[in-house]
Amino acid sequence: MHPWTMGESLRTSLPAQEIQPPSETGGGDWDALWEHGGFPEPLLRRDSRFSRRWRSLRLEQLSRGDLREVAQITELGAMETLMQLLAESSAQQSVYYNWHVRFRSPLILSSVGSTCSFACTMASYRPWFKNIAKSLRKEPKWFLRDWSGLADDGMRAETFVACHLLKAVEGWTDLGLGDFELRYLRDEQKREVDFLVVRDRKPWFLVKAKLSETALSSSLAHFQAQAKASHAFQAVINLPYEPVDCFRAHQPVAVPARIFLSQLL
pLDDT in tens, 93-147: 765 545 444 544 444 444 444 444 444 467 889 999 988 888 877 788 889 899 9
Pairing mode of beta strands 231-236, 253-256: parallel
> 162 or 62: which carries more pLDDT confidence?
162
pLDDT of residue 116: 45
The reported pTM is 0.86
Q: Calculate mean pLDDT across residues 40-56.
A: 95
- Do residues 3 and 146 lie in contact, with contact meaning Cβ atoms separated by under 8 Å? yes
> 82 or 95: which carries more pLDDT confidence?
82
Report the distance separating Cα 124 and Cα 127, nearest Å: 10
CA distance readout (Å), 57 to 54, 65, 123, 159, 199 = 5, 11, 21, 21, 38
Beta strands, E only, 68-162: 92-93, 122-125, 141-144
> 205 or 112: which carries more pLDDT confidence?
205
pLDDT of residue 69: 61
pLDDT of residue 240: 95
Q: Calculate mean pLDDT across residues 30-50.
A: 96
Bridge partners of residue 162, in order along the sequence: none
- pLDDT exceeds 90 at position 148: yes
Report the distance separating Cα 122 and Cα 58, nearest Å: 14
Number of H helices, E strands in the chain: 11, 8
pLDDT of residue 78: 65
Beta strands, E only, 59-128: 92-93, 122-125
Return the top range by mean pLDDT from 27-31, 57-61, 174-178.
174-178
- pLDDT exceeds 80 at position 260: yes
What proportion of the chain, given as a percentage, has pLDDT over 90?
Answer: 63
- pLDDT exceeds 90 at position 88: no
What proportion of the chain, given as a percentage, has pLDDT over 70?
Answer: 80
Of 141, 212, 220, 150, residue with least CA distance to 183: 141
Rounded to 10°, the helix 29-36/153-174 angle is: 110
Rg (CA), the chain: 19
Q: What's phi and psi for 184, nearest 5 deg?
A: -140, 170
Report the distance separating Cα 36 and Cα 172, nearest Å: 26
- pLDDT exceeds 60 at position 155: yes
Task: Report how far Cα 181 is from the mean position of its chain's Cα atoms.
Answer: 13
pLDDT of residue 89: 72
Q: How confident is the model at residue 70 (pLDDT cuts 50, 70, 90)?
A: low
Q: Buried b vs exposed e over 172-196: b needs ≥16 C-beta within 10 Å?
A: beeeebeebbbbbbbbeeebbbbbb
pLDDT of residue 91: 77
- pLDDT exceeds 70 at position 179: yes
Q: Which amino acid is at 20?
A: Q
Q: Which of 4-13, 41-50, 130-139, 230-239 has the lowest mean pLDDT?
A: 130-139
pLDDT of residue 103: 47
- Do residues 139 and 127 lie in contact, with contact meaning Cβ atoms separated by under 8 Å? yes
